[in-house]
A and B are shown apart, each in its own frame.
Chain A
């Protein structure tokens, strides 16, 4: 069964205090907060406007207002054009009076594309209107983060004397598809495309972004994190998500039928049975590694439909909670003509085995004692896998609702109850990784900016 209230308390506790082993995620604290807030949203625990909120939730509207204030006061840069990823990376300037000779020094208190994406998402969930942001400045900053090859950096170092000085400009961070996704989502959330269309500010180089992603399409028919790297479901999500956000959902127009069909196949092939390593024959080994074999390996040995199948990120690797979201959401963004009505929001996700995916998450990686989900069976639950487990299940619930209910998906009545236990989850938007209601609120803001 889906332990909805357990999960809600897991995320609420985490917002109050995290154990020290989260230190290694200290500088991405906004991500941790996003996982908690967005999970509570999907679980129906946030009191937002007129929305229905679980009677068990003790979160008050005042509390939610304080969260919003906290994000602004600790993570928005004084320039109001970007967010840090964490209060931990703030470097106040008051401790030393700055000699004028220091004006060429670097300001390490920098904005971060991922921090900006997570902050905007949290604020959208909490129904903020972004009136405190410099949206035009944020677009200028995003442009600075873009590299010549089209990819995005994590951020730009600036001099203390002159914000965004070209002479000292130095991009930092890894070169892969993640920051491009964050930048595309941020641009969409602040209506940057609208500002650019109205000639208020120059746009990012959209063609170059698309070109970079196309160069990451791998020989397997997947998408890699960088050109010629290995196809990776996380790369698939970031790549397809970026294109979707930059093309208003018209992924097929950008990638073309051939690449889309291959991507659908590749993503579906990542659904694999969870299984205890067949090569380890010592059965009493309690920590025997859980691994997966390809579905066909299994079925060649006889049908084993009682074993659930989640998604893996790469070929010949075991299924893992987070890829149930990354692969699932990629499939959701890829429409396949003939499979569904044009108004469908779940795209080709319905071509996967929804029942088996739900059973994988509920029976293998869900923690029903303290809540949350772990990466693989037997591991400790953590916030990232906790949130992505919830979001993956919410996406499955969307497919079930769209197909008219759980009856089609189950073998017997007992299973029907288990599958139905995920239905109280709110609808989720895979592209932004937010509840559909949060996305609709963002669309209302965009409609308002459009008229301005």
Chain B
């Protein structure tokens, strides 16, 4: 079967090298399509002499579209691009095509990072990321790449409003929440208490919209921990969401009004931290027996040990 690039380039002077699959009984052989078999045959041939040519570059492109996870092709392509002094913007355009075709692929992001670093200009990046996050708003590679980009080109200023928008679109998008945490704390500079307060309020508002949303809760508790603020600061907030009223010895939960089991969990940790054993036990028992039976063993274990999650309890 002829390949597109065979008509573009002459392959007469080179002998394709077939794959050595280890004899008559190969393990887990893949029923390759003819195109792939032909292309990899030529690839081995050019790689074995590290041929630096346009036809080799085209071959890497054809192969990546057939198998984007081919790790040595990516390494070869990167060296070819620089050796042939190719226009890096053209390469970025090409990557955009590959990325949209294979959104789950790991290698393209590593490759793009290297190209953009050399290109030294982020102009194409945010729009491309936008397209990719429209395909999958939780694409792990894309969010990690965005972090690299923000650091590399000092793009911090646009990020907080960006996470506002993404979280507004989907308040349960944990990737967007994580990016917000990176935006606020990843710069490595001191943060004003007023900014911390803003973030706490922001998370609280999101929790009120969706009281069971673990992403917003994790953010709230993560900010408190990072800022070394006490958990007791949100006790009232949790009382409301867990519909809890307390006396010195015990707590009352209005079962019809309880909106958030996480609020109840945080309260249990606060009680345990204050050695209010009875109250903590009541909260954990409710979680084990009524609200969160999947983790029954965990809540019972906490109850036996009477431990608060010290992770959340700043020293």
Contacts and interface: CB of A to CB of B under 8 A. Distances in A.
Interface of A: 14-20, 22-29, 32-33, 36, 66-67, 70-71, 73-74, 85, 87-93, 95-96, 98, 102, 105-106, 108-110, 112, 154-155, 157, 170, 172-175, 218-221, 224-226, 228-232, 257-259, 261-262, 264-265, 268-269, 271-273, 294-297, 299-300, 303, 305, 309, 314-317, 336, 338-339, 350-353, 356
Given A106-B50, A271-B295, A20 B30 contact: yes
A87 B186 CA distance: 42
Nearest to B79: A106
A91 B47 contact: yes
Contacts of B185: 219
B213 to A, nearest CB: 7
Interface string B96-134: 000000000011011000000000000000000000000
Contact of B31 (A17, A175, A309, A338): A17
Interface in B190-231: 212-215, 218-219, 222-223, 225-226
Interface stretch (B3-11, B84-92, B302-310): B302-310
A391 B310 CA distance: 32
B206 to A, nearest CB: 13
Contacts of B38: none
Nearest to B261: A296
Contacts of B79: 106
A109 B43 CA distance: 12
Contact of B69 (A25, A67, A110, A296): A25
B45 interface: yes
B12 interface: no
24 contacts: A14-B28, A16-B28, A16-B29, A20-B30, A20-B33, A23-B30, A23-B33, A26-B69, A33-B28, A87-B21, A89-B70, A91-B72, A172-B74, A174-B110, A219-B185, A230-B174, A261-B309, A296-B212, A296-B291, A296-B292, A316-B172, A338-B305, A352-B298, A353-B293
Contacts of A353: 293-297
B31 A229 contact: no
Contacts of B66: 23
A93 B44 CA distance: 9
Contacts of A154: 71
Contacts of A338: 301, 304-305
Contacts of B28: 14-18, 29, 32-33, 36
B67 A26 contact: yes
B69 A28 contact: yes
Contacts of B47: 91, 108
Contacts of A70: 22-23, 25-27
Interface residues of B, number: 84
A17 B76 CA distance: 29
B144 interface: yes
A220 B48 CA distance: 47
B138 interface: yes
A327 B265 CA distance: 21
A357 B222 CA distance: 29
A351 B20 contact: no
Given A14-B28, A15-B28, A96-B48, A219 B20 contact: no
Contact of A299 (B71, B175, B291): B291
Interface string B149-170: 0000000000000000000000
Which label, helix, strand, loop or mixed, suits the secondary structure of the B interface? helix
A236 B283 CA distance: 29
Contacts of B212: 294, 296-297, 300
B71 A85 contact: yes
A309 B68 CA distance: 33
A295 B22 contact: no
A229 B178 contact: yes
A24 B32 contact: no
A24 B214 contact: no
Contact of A91 (B48, B74, B106, B174): B48
Contacts of B290: 299, 303
* Chain A facing B: main interface SS: mixed
Interface string B226-249: 100000000000000000000000
A356 B175 contact: no
B315 to A, nearest CB: 10
Given A98-B49, A265-B309, A295-B295, A157 B75 contact: yes
Contact of A24 (B69, B260, B309): B69
A19 B261 contact: no
Contact of B294 (A102, A220, A356): A356
Contact of A23 (B32, B182, B222, B294): B32
B294 A271 contact: yes
A10 B289 CA distance: 41
A220 B67 contact: no
Given A92-B17, A225-B144, A226-B144, A174 B218 contact: no
7 nearest CB pairs, A to B: A219-B222, A262-B311, A296-B261, A74-B22, A230-B178, A105-B50, A315-B174
A364 B225 CA distance: 38
Contacts of A36: 28
Given A220-B222, A296-B261, A336-B301, A261 B71 contact: no
Contacts of B57: none
Contacts of A85: 71
B140 A232 contact: yes
A268 B140 contact: no
Q: Which of A67, A88, A173, A295 has the most CB of B within 10 A?
A: A88
Contacts of B259: 300
A103 to B, nearest CB: 11
Contacts of A16: 28-29
B311 A259 contact: yes
Contacts of B45: 95-96
B279 interface: no
A33 B27 contact: yes
Contacts of B72: 27, 89, 91, 108-110
A19 B31 CA distance: 5
A108 B76 contact: yes
B93 interface: no
Contact of A261 (B21, B31, B311): B311
Residue in B36, B66, B225, B298 with the greatest tally of chain A CB atoms within 10 Å: B298
The interface centre, meaning the residue of B30, B67, B215, B222 with most chain A CB atoms within 10 A of its CB, is B30
A218 B28 CA distance: 38
Given A26-B70, A91-B44, A92-B17, A220 B218 contact: yes
Contact of B309 (A88, A262, A299): A262
